[in-house]
Amino acid sequence: MSMTSHERVMTALNHRRADRPPLNYYGTEETTRKLLDHLRLESLEDLLCYFGADMRYVGSRYVGPDCFSGQSGYAHGDRDMWGVVWDRVSNRYATYNEVVHHPLAGAQTVAEVEAYDWPSPDWLSVSHLADEIRAINQVERRAIVFPAGGPFETMWYLRGLERTLIDLVERPDIADVILGKVTDFFVDVAMRAVEASAGQIDIMWSSSDVGIQTGMMMAPDTWRRRIKPFQRRFIEPFSKMGMKTRYHTDGSVAPIIEDLIEMGLDLLDPIQPGTAGMEAEELAARFGGRLSFYGGLDTQHLLPHGTAGQVEADVLRLIDVLGGNGGYVVAASNAVQPDVPVENVLALYETAREYRY
């Protein structure tokens, strides 16, 4: 029996088989434009419907001072509301915004951090959410995701990555203040969003990359002491409210997956193949039935350099390994990049969309 997108995602996150695995699409602007042109579609929503994508995203709207570009320069560039400055960097495929100025890089004391001109949660509006979600669900009910932000990434945007990693060991007093300020801000906005949406948000999504190809950016025990208490606030309260929770981190994070489950995490995003301890078979054996998994289609090698047949085979393998009893959302392991052939993207989504348990 065919399910709605909402039923499909919720069934999978409850570790049961749906009619087919739920799907999600995320690509760069250039990738999306290329797909729209190829398929002769007009909008991102048209593309999501074509692929059978089951998740839709709603977020806060920036209403703060005009001197800032918006909530995050990752999307908008220039100087964002945190005071972080971003610049556009291009390669032959795409353009990205990269941090070029960390405003707290030179801070030497807790007092300097406390005195920083921190943004106000009032700069982000959520009053539109209830109407926006009702409009999304008008034709078919979708699984609605709210991006709640993340403590560690915002910290290093402000401080610089190298300085942040040093702070976690040598200046934990500074690290705790920054993480606390950022967490208070994002959790406040997320709670306002839950109220403003009239209970229509299904999944609370937080993010902070703490993994690399070969392991974690910091020792797992350092993560537990310094970052886990703040990350917990993005998961545990919302889980207790009956919402599903999703956490994004690239790279190898196998040593802390038990910690994330203990917090109440439902969906780990993404599974990045080729990183230490993150093989689908090992994850399924260790955590299957207690945690759901997202992604796994390799954006580094398979999607850009493989054949459509190889992509199809890997989709079927991942569904079998990670989603044999539900608990898996089919997607690429990160944003689909513009160097991925169109036929490989189509193979990914057509294979998963047509699959039936």
pLDDT in tens, 24-64: 999 999 999 999 999 999 999 999 999 999 999 999 999 99
> b/e map of 52-63 (b: 16 or more CB within 10 Å)?
bbbbbebbbebe
pLDDT surpasses 90 at 187 = yes
Q: Which two tokens stand for residue 51?
A: 């692929």
pLDDT at 349: 98
**Residue 216 has what pLDDT?**
98
pLDDT for the residue numbered 325: 87
H helix or E strand, kind and range, residue 308: helix 308-322
CA distances (Å), origin 157, targets 161, 226, 324: 7, 17, 39
Q: What is the pLDDT of residue 215?
A: 96
Confidence class for position 1, pLDDT limits 50, 70, 90: confident
Task: Map residue 297 onto helix, strand or coil.
Answer: strand
Q: Return the amino acid letter for 237.
A: P
CB 98 within 8 A of CB 84: no
Residue pair 332/302 in contact (Cβ under 8 Å)? The answer is no
Distance CA 19, CA 83 (A): 46
What pLDDT digit, counting tens, does each position of 226-247 carry? 999 999 999 999 999 999 999 9
pLDDT at 356 over 80: yes
Contact 110, 117 (CB under 8 A): no
d(CA 197, CA 189): 12
Res 256: pLDDT? 98
Reported confidence tier of residue 87, pLDDT bands at 50, 70, 90 = very high
Residue ranges and CATH numbers for the domains of the chain are 5-354 (3.20.20.210)
Of 248, 209, 328, the closest CA to residue 280 belongs to 328
For 97, the 3-state DSSP assignment is strand
What's the average model confidence in pLDDT over 165-191?
Answer: 98
Q: What is the mean pLDDT of the chain?
A: 97
What is the reported pLDDT for 73? 92
Give the list of residues 6+ apart from residue 207 with CB closer than 8 angstroms, or none: 147, 149, 150, 153, 247, 248, 249, 269
Q: Tens of pLDDT along 249-285?
A: 999 999 999 999 999 999 999 999 999 999 999 999 9
